[in-house]
Chain A
Amino acid sequence: MKIRVELPANLCRLAHVAPLVELEAGEQPTQRSMMEALEAKLPALQGTVRDHTTQLRRPYLRFFACNEDISHQDIDQHLPEAVASGNEPLLIVGAVSGG
């Protein structure tokens, strides 16, 4: 089963892809398996969504699924069924920059 992940514009330009990417993230995908699959498919994004040292999501990024902020869920918790089945995308969203 493939999941769909929507990337912010800066990462699309970096990886030379359209915003919506499809990933094989395992039978029961999690945030961790999603990030691993993303980096495997698009090596240019290694270290940009999660920190190389901590392996954790970067602090100015959030993960949204099914209209909910799942950023602070356990990294190994299963993603919502609608995301795991590919019906709903997981959104990677950067903090809004004002000023």
Chain B
Amino acid sequence: MSRVRLLVGTRKGAFVLESDGTRKDWTVSGPHFAGWEVYHLKASPLNPDRIYASQTSAWFGQVVQRSDDGGKTWAAAGNKFLYEGVAGTHQWYDGTPHPWEFKRVWHLEPSLFDPEVVFAGAEDAALFRSTDGAASWTELAGLRKHGSGPNWAPGAGGMCLHTIVQDPSDARRMFIAISAAGAFRTDDGGETWKAINQGLRSQHIPDPNAEVGHCVHHIAMHPSRPQTLFMQKHWDVMRTDNAGDQWSEVSGNLPTDFGFVIDVHAHEPETVYVVPIKSDSEHFPMDGALRVYRSRGGGNEWEALTAGLPQKDCYVNVLRDAMSVDSLDKCGVYFGTTGGQVYASADGGDSWNAIVRDLPAVLSVEAQTLA
């Protein structure tokens, strides 16, 4: 029988949750790396017991951990993230030039094509690649040296490269997103990059339609449709059907189009999930009611999913990497909150239950479907 493993990163450690295919009863192991922030964990799609974790601390810097037994044991891997050449400057919050300084890894993305290759998205924004299972890292500097780099500026959470999406049909194509620069695409394996922000409109920047400066929060793709991407921007839910060359807004009837997470159903490429958050100054659900919204038509028409979710006095947030889906039939959907709950739906979002309630604030959730 198939199993599901959830990799949960929190403010104070990592947790591994497992269930059989019924997804009713869950075991919880952890905290791993207790006391450290774990921004993200993700397993190799080619070797499911190979898991990478980004362990970070304001005191002790960045550590990358690797497990080769499905999260039972871990070993520190390479953590030397050096920018290539002269790091240069980007814009600081006040508009002055600020040196590029490595702070942490927000996202780890194991390759779809090579079990030894893994990508790391960093703050200050840069993309690194390891070809030896995270033992060593090399910057893909073509991104940071995109001509617009000196004009990139941090969002409130820092200038982070937080989203890495690979095209399963083309190993040379990849999408990344940076707060608050925008989305970028490479078609040559990371050598050169193109800003793909046409159609985004951000009222908080001097030119709302600028090439860069957009606070993209997350991007999701269904593997069968690599030309179609869904984006939760700071405000606005967007989609593109030409690999980012042009975006259009699909916020439709959402009660608020601010939010962080977005994901796509495992078997229905036009079924999309978001968790609307009231505003950028009030990072909690509207009216104290936690609602996932689902569109079955690729956006514009959204339905609230509330069964099993708290509908009063709920003031948690759901951060950008904290939603994931499994590939069982029916599709499982999972998300974690800053209140320490991980909610699961085993029926595509129709009903939910909290499989853990009292973890530290959840930073990331990744679901693995295991044979």
Interface residues of chain A, those whose CB is within 8 Å of chain B, are: 8-11, 13-14, 43-44, 46-49, 51-53, 58, 60-61, 94-95
Q: Which residue of A lies closest to B36 (CB)?
A: A10
Interface residues of B in 64-80 (CB under 8 A from A): 76, 79-80
Q: A14-B63, A53-B82, A60-B58 are in contact. List 18 more A-B contacts (CB 8 A).
A: A8-B59, A10-B36, A10-B57, A10-B59, A13-B34, A44-B76, A46-B80, A47-B61, A47-B62, A47-B79, A47-B80, A52-B79, A52-B80, A52-B81, A52-B102, A53-B102, A58-B59, A94-B59
Contacts of A60 in B (CB 8 A): 58-59
Contacts of A52 in B (CB 8 A): 61, 79-82, 102
What distance in Å separates the Cβ of B132 from its nearest Cβ neighbour in chain A?
A: 15
Contacts of A61 in B (CB 8 A): 59-60
- 9 closest A-B pairs by beta carbon, nearest first, are A44-B76, A48-B60, A60-B59, A94-B59, A47-B79, A52-B80, A47-B61, A48-B61, A10-B35
Contacts of B33 in A (CB 8 A): 13
Say yes or no: A11 contacts B60, CB within 8 Å.
Answer: yes
Contacts of B81 in A (CB 8 A): 52
Number of interface residues of B (CB under 8 A): 19
| Bound CA span A14–B79, Å | 13
Q: Which residue of B lies closest to A15 (CB)?
A: B76
| Bound CA span A91–B342, Å | 39
- A interface secondary structure, majority: loop
Interface centre among B36, B61, B101, by most chain A C-beta atoms within 10 angstroms, is B61
What distance in Å separates the Cβ of B59 from its nearest Cβ neighbour in chain A?
A: 4
Q: Which residue of A lies closest to B79 (CB)?
A: A47
What distance in Å separates the Cβ of B173 from its nearest Cβ neighbour in chain A?
A: 31
What distance in Å separates the Cβ of B85 from its nearest Cβ neighbour in chain A?
A: 13
Q: Which residue of B lies closest to A61 (CB)?
A: B59
| Bound CA span A40–B35, Å | 25
Q: B88-128 vs A: 1/0 string, CB under 8 Å?
A: 00000000000001100000000000000000000000000
Q: Which residue of B lies closest to A49 (CB)?
A: B60
Contacts of B59 in A (CB 8 A): 8, 10, 58, 60-61, 94-95
| Bound CA span A7–B102, Å | 24
| Bound CA span A21–B59, Å | 20
What distance in Å separates the Cβ of B316 from its nearest Cβ neighbour in chain A?
A: 19
Q: Which of B36, B58, B61, B63 contacts A51 (CB 8 A)?
A: B61
Contacts of A9 in B (CB 8 A): 35
Interface centre among B33, B62, B63, B102, by most chain A C-beta atoms within 10 angstroms, is B63
